[in-house]
Amino acid sequence: MSIPSSLDQSFVVVDRVSHSFSTQKDQSKDFVKADHPSLGFGYTPGTNPSYAHDWSNKGTGGGIRLHGRHFVDEYGRVCHLRGVNVSGCTKTPVDHDHENFPGDHRTVTFVGRPFPLEEAPDHLARLRRWGLTFIRFLVTWEAVEHAGPGIYDREYLAYVRKLLSMLPEYGLKAFVSLHQDVWSRYSGGSGAPAWTLEVAGFDLHAIEASGAAWLLGQRRGGHVEEERGLWPCGYQKLSAATMATLFWAGDAFAPKLVVEDRDGKSVSIQAYLQRHFLDMFDEIVKAVGDLEGVLGFQMMNEPHRGYLEIPSLHSFDYNTDLHLSHVPSAFQSFQLGAGYPTEVPTYTRSFPMPTKLTGHVLLNTEKIKAWRDNGPTNGQCIWQMHNVWGWDTRKNEGVVLQEHYFKVHPKTKKQVDWYTDCYYPLAHEWTERVRKLSKPDKIIFLEPIPNEFCPPSFGNEGRISNMVYAPHWYDLNALFSKAFGNFSVNVQGLSRGMFPLKAFYWGQKGVRDNYSVQIANLVEHASKSLGETPVLIGECGIPMDLNKKAAFKSGDFSWQTKMMDAMITALERSLVGFTLWNYNPDNTDNYGDDWNGENFSWFSRSRALPSSLLFHEQTAPSLDNGGRILSSVVRPYPAKTCGIPVKLEYEMTSGTMVYEWTNHTDPALSESLRAAETEIFYPSLLSQSRKLRVQGLEAGDRYVWDESRQTVFVCCDDVKTPGKVHRVVVSVFPALDAARPEFFVNDFWSDFGPYVGLLGLFVFFFSAYVVAVNA
């Protein structure tokens, strides 16, 4: 399918023609709540000057809140939020020094991440045009407090405030997410400032050589085969695993590590780190918590338990911790960090499981220590200091002294549960502080450890009022193989004991079904634990450098298009909102997202038109330049529904969306509905030079299609009869596949059915022949 670039518009309007529209800027005063104009007698659909994907107070009647498992606006309409993570480039400062990393970590700046303020109108208008108006806005601890403990970057906070203040003008809403991966840039990921590792005793310039972290990805590594996908293994390495353990449970597992706080008092390392973390977050909330464009906050991206709960010092959980390349156990990491050469296992990619053990290698032959001699441990491994292990000088080898040290609380001797003992207590304290410093209606977003289902305890000890459960989902097989084709695998199922043949799928239909099963599992487990709590997939995306980066040479991104389509189709089937990973203006073909070899952004500033040539109207095709696989990303969806969504199907090869919803069955909910207009986003990207068709509505129902606002406004005659079902089919004419489809939705039978049939006939006649001969 080729997307038309013409500025020509086609309109299909019932009762009235489209209306002029102008956005409004953020206002500090509270929005006055009122009934939606659609309840007025003689109202013509689309008269209200808003649009489907407008989440500003003007577009939602005063804001968005939670009700049961749904986001709802102040008119009582169910809101389907979808958007993007902005942005992957915020993991590193604007002056990140690849060659001299770690460099002078105290003088870096994140001002201009994710993009300079002068570029903001271009990016925000682009996201509005694409209907991706809900943002997971990323900040890092390092961005706020890189200069030292208690020293906050006021210039950065002011920049963030100015940027987020612009969102309502473009109909955007955001939740601010504190991002981290593998604890910090200085332990191979992103997030915490360098001084957090130093205060624990690590030597920043010895972490890599001692095997305590993989840092090549910070120097633009990670793009060649032997380095690809290694960074998540850093969670199990000494520096990141130790820091996570100290942060969450230092009081219990490292009580000997005491540091001096800013008040001059000696405090535990856990108290020190958590106090600075919470104080830093206070500064973020104070900077942006009052803004209309900020819906809520997320405490931490992809939290990790560190060493807590590992079954023994000799192994990690294969199901949750990636095993690729050199994967030292906790005990082996201790020895490496203490300067002892150690032989560790090596894993390589495999099938059907992601990796397998293929050998061993001797590391740290130069006997470099990860610990500073002038640090709080006096150069000793912190876990040796706590008698978790020791060194037998007679045998010249390490000795495990407490095999299950991180599984059982050292004092109470009770089994450790990271969620109930560590995560929930901090989440509750953090939530209380956020709510004191911002408006009480700010929503809290929380997520589990990556690749884990929602634990049952989340609905009890972990329950927080006005909360959204925001897990992540990726196709782990494609993610780590960086390959995608007709054959796909349900790794989620395999890792939990699924019979292999049930985990294999073929074709586009197969991969849609595969992903649908996996995402439905996430949602169902959340529902079992949390009941009527909204679920939003906080991260989901596809690598753009699939299949050995073939698309960058050929310009054919069809496999990426198919993979993105399958993923979003699965999300639509589960009726959950999402924020795609990721929109990164700094993405390039050579370096991707310029962090650990990742390449997920389907937009690149280097491919886009300069700002001087851009128009910001929703119908401006100039905004699409720089985008890739837009036909699978930019899709129609019901943004605001007068009722409960039941079914959403979109076939990207034709441009047809089918949507079903019902009236409320709860009289109280029905009474709270103060609107009669459902608003559906249908992208101008698809409708330009075509006519839009709206079918399936009942007699008395009315609609208006306004391409300038990319919205189908639907007013159903009956929005009160409990349980009444509504159905609408929105399509374009000619259909997107009128000439030829962008791809065929194939499966095993469409590809191999004739051959299977012929084989069956051969077997039948051959058997008959054998029977006849032997008769």
Give the pair of three-digit tokens for residue 635. 């899709």
Give DSSP secondary structure letters for 734-773.
Answer: S-TTSS--SS----HHHHHHHHHHHHHHHHHHHHHHHHHH
> By 3-state DSSP, what share of the chain in percent is helix, strand and coil, each rounded to 5?
35, 20, 50
CA nearest neighbour of 258 among 240, 241, 271: 271
Q: Where are the beta strands (DSSP E) in 287-371?
A: 294-298, 325-326, 342-349, 355-363
Residue 178 forms beta bridges with which residues? 139
Instruction: Compute the distance between CA of residue 203 and CA of residue 205 in angstroms, rounded to an integer.
Output: 5
Is the CB of residue 284 less than 8 Å from the CB of residue 157?
Answer: yes
Q: Which helix (H) or strand (E) holds 291?
A: none
Return the number of other C-beta atoms located less than 10 Å from residue 456's C-beta.
Answer: 14
Q: How many CA atoms lie within 13 A of 445 on its CB side?
A: 30
Amino acid sitting at position 666: D
Instruction: Compute the distance between CA of residue 98 and CA of residue 221 in angstroms, rounded to an integer.
Output: 10
Give DSSP secondary structure letters for 555-594.
Answer: ---HHHHHHHHHHHHHHHHTT-EEEES---TT-BTTTBTS
Instruction: Compute the distance between CA of residue 481 and CA of residue 487 in angstroms, rounded to an integer.
Output: 13
Pairing of strands 258-260, 266-268: antiparallel
User: How buried is residue 714: exposed, middle or buried, by Cβ count under 10 Å (0-12/13-18/19+)?
Assistant: buried
b/e code 212-223 from CB counts within 10 Å (16+ = b): bbbbbbbebbbb
CA nearest neighbour of 329 among 358, 350, 307: 307
Give the pair of three-digit tokens for residue 334. 């201790």
Instruction: Compute the distance between CA of residue 47 and CA of residue 461 in angstroms, rounded to an integer.
Output: 47
Instruction: Compute the distance between CA of residue 277 and CA of residue 477 in angstroms, rounded to an integer.
Output: 34
Instruction: Compute the distance between CA of residue 149 and CA of residue 325 in angstroms, rounded to an integer.
Output: 35
Q: Is 177 helix (H, G, I), strand (E, B) or coil?
A: strand
Give DSSP secondary structure letters for 144-157.
Answer: HHTTSTT---HHHH
Is the CB of residue 193 less than 8 Å from the CB of residue 204?
Answer: no
Q: Give the residue numbers marked as catalytic.
A: 302, 539
Return the number of other C-beta atoms located less than 10 Å from residue 752's C-beta.
Answer: 14
Instruction: Compute the distance between CA of residue 211 and CA of residue 218 in angstroms, rounded to an integer.
Output: 15
Residue 685 has φ and ψ, to the nearest 5°, of -55, -35
Is the CB of residue 416 less than 8 Å from the CB of residue 309?
Answer: yes
Give the pair of three-digit tokens for residue 34. 């009122």
Is the CB of residue 323 less than 8 Å from the CB of residue 316?
Answer: yes
Instruction: Compute the distance between CA of residue 366 and CA of residue 721 in angstroms, rounded to an integer.
Output: 76
Instruction: Compute the distance between CA of residue 150 and CA of residue 81 in angstroms, rounded to an integer.
Output: 36
Q: Give me the helix-helix angle, 507-530 and 558-573, nearest 10°.
A: 40
Return the number of other C-beta atoms located less than 10 Å from residue 741's C-beta.
Answer: 15
Cα angle value 140/197/271 (rounded, 5°): 80
